[in-house]
Structure 1
Amino acid sequence: MAFVLDGFDLDAFLAATLAEDLGDGGDITSAAVIPAEARFRGVMASRDSITVAGLGVAAGFFRALDPEVTIVPLVEDGAAIAAGGVLMRLEGSARAMLTAERSALNTVQHLSGIATLTRAYADRILGTGAILLDTRKTIPGLRRLEKYATRMGGAQNHRMGLWDAAMIKDNHVAVAGDVGEAVARAKAAGIARIIVEVDRIDQIEPALAAGATHLLLDNMTPAVLRGAVTLVGGRVPTEASGGVTLETIRDIAATGVTYVSVGRLTQSAPAADIGLDFALV
């Protein structure tokens, strides 16, 4: 159940997280109360219906403190499970399990919460042809993990950072003078992917003429979005963004846009209710 994610250093994440929890004194409660030789069996289960994400990271915390721990995963990331479903079974050092418990649960609860919310949004637009995107609205330091969780829930990743595509927004336009000039500068810099945020129909043609490769249609009503999609005519992908909710996303997706991006996937997802119960071996 080794967890490998491009651009993510699992060992460094595990070490930093455990160091934050253990400080200089370690787990003083377990050290005082639990005999060193005690062993636990553990069952990690969900109390709600969820989409799972982060099991491999959670397992990493237990292995970091007890390399001999036995871990039996019963589902894979991306799986939908019903309330009461068991995610994994563990057996190993009681002290190590208790010390790793909170870090492991925090991670899998957070990532499964994101995956579960993402799945709700993805399911809501099934059949429309639109693709769900996440955003850069992530907790600092957790972007790779959170964007991994959105993929487990059925979304595609938008930009991973400021480096992998230009995104020209209103403040860039304000400095450049107009949309066309801003796009022209990005193109002159040799940038291949140039995403342009437009909030008015009259910005579309200047952006396309200057070389935009993707249009982000910001805070437009479904009626306006339909007109924008018609005007673009498939020349570049179109993306609807801004204030999208579960109640509004289907109407937005049905306008013919290529993508719908939703910041709430990572910004507002509640933690999944996942618990870990132990018993002495």
Structure 2
Amino acid sequence: MKVKHSKYKNTGILFELLTRQITSETIKGETPKAINVLKKFFNKNTQLLKEYQIYSTLLSKKYKDSNKATILLETCLEAHKEVNKSILRREKFNLVKEIKKLYNAEDFFNAKIDNYKILASTYVLLENQANPIALTNSKVTVVEYITGAALPNKPKTEMVMEEYEKFDKSTRLLTYKILLEKFNEKYTDLSDNQKVLLKEYVYNVSNSPKLKAFINEEITTVKSELAHISAKVSDPVVKIKINEVTNLIKPLCKKSSVHDDNIINLLNYYELVNELTSIHG
């Protein structure tokens, strides 16, 4: 039997998405709604917390020795047998129901998760309903993660954001305040739309579909502005170049994630529009 992984049923992912939501809302200066959700569903009296502690142990504990890593995994799987599965299913159902009340489900669950593979593998092992090959592959993935044998070489930006998300609320707010002041000092020459774009990028720490939607809306606006400018240009060579650039600007597709290059490109598009506007009105 093959277990189909589901973010809606993966306790580790649910917890991860909620904590990211808290970070995102805090950065925006909003009162994090997800805090009450965490307190309600992940407290000492819930089966969700018991299961999450197993995810957390496998994510945080490190051994260089694969034998020790295997023992840790087996111990965690044994501990999971003590979790009341019936109550756990009910708690997960109610948790997802609560999330859907507070947030747009598509935006919430489509957020990028860097440690998705290890969380998904843990889910498969805890469910223990997959075929032998799938279970073996999942065990290998988890053991390699614990020993560091398959740790990805993450970009420094991702590592910084992961550390940032571990800060308590007051530290995050102070850090953000300092960053914002430095940002305003360094980039005083940026246009308003460039500043808005960068702030949106910072706000959406989880790389949510909301950020992608914002970028695509801005791309549509840029293309429209370029078309408007092109109509005013009398020089045929310049007009051709503007039209060529316009045709090259494409929105992000549904399956793609937002990367630094997308932000840089849009910043350059803004700059182009601003320069052409200053010349051609």
User: TM-score w.r.t. structure 2 length?
Assistant: 0.25
Greater fraction strand = 1
As a proportion of its length, which structure holds more helix?
A: 2
